[in-house]
Amino acid sequence: MDHLSVAQGIVMGTSGSAVAALLMAQHAPHRVRAVIADSCVMRQPPEVLRAEVAGRRRRRPEAVAFWRHAHGDDWEQVVEADSDLLLRLAQRDGRWFEHSLSEVGCPVLLTGSLQDSILHNGAAQMLDMATQIPESNWC
């Protein structure tokens, strides 16, 4: 935001980026006017996170093609850094947030599919998140 000379904005993210948007709202509330958080949960089971990393390390051709397209020539560094984050998260029992989501002081819209198999117990977790965040809705 500083690079763009923007003092405050609406932050939006999907999956891990949605977690980052909520963390930004917690840690820099003066910079975040609202959050749209799609397809995120408060916790992923550690075994699911470890399995995800193991799958990435197999380097299936279709996954490599996606990563190369999404991240460019340094895709391996990006995937390894993200995998390291997932392993650290697994060591913390899979919990993304160290502080209560009740600390989020801006409006939040939580969205996600009820059929998203990647989100462990997604609907229940999103409802729990919505009850913790004072100004929130979910769909």
CATH code of the domain containing 9? 3.40.50.1820
Q: Based on the fold, state whether residues 102 and 35 are members of the same structural domain.
A: yes
Dig out the tokens for 122 from the structure.
Answer: 């997604």
Dig out the tokens for 44 from the structure.
Answer: 């992923």
Q: Based on the fold, state whether residues 110 and 126 are members of the same structural domain.
A: yes
Dig out the tokens for 1 from the structure.
Answer: 């935001």
* Contact (CB, 8 A) for 41 and 122: yes
The pLDDT value recorded for residue 81 is 95
99: burial class by Cβ within 10 Å (0-12, 13-18, 19+)? Answer: exposed
Q: How far apart are CA 128 and CA 119, in angstroms?
A: 14
Q: Based on the fold, state whether residues 52 and 77 are members of the same structural domain.
A: yes
Q: What are the tens digits of pLDDT across the range 68-115? A: 999 999 999 999 999 999 999 999 999 999 999 999 999 999 999 878
Residue range(s) defining the domain that contains residue 127: 1-43+98-139
Number of structural domains in the chain: 2
What average pLDDT does range 1-23 have in this prediction? 93
Q: Based on the fold, state whether residues 87 and 102 are members of the same structural domain.
A: no
Q: Based on the fold, state whether residues 12 and 39 are members of the same structural domain.
A: yes
Q: Based on the fold, state whether residues 90 and 105 are members of the same structural domain.
A: no
Q: Based on the fold, state whether residues 30 and 49 are members of the same structural domain.
A: no
The alpha carbons of the chain give a radius of gyration, in whole angstroms, of 16
The pLDDT value recorded for residue 132 is 95
Cα 48–139–34 angle (5° rounding)? 95
pTM of the complete model: 0.86
Q: How far apart are CA 25 and CA 50, in angstroms?
A: 28
Q: Based on the fold, state whether residues 50 and 90 are members of the same structural domain.
A: yes
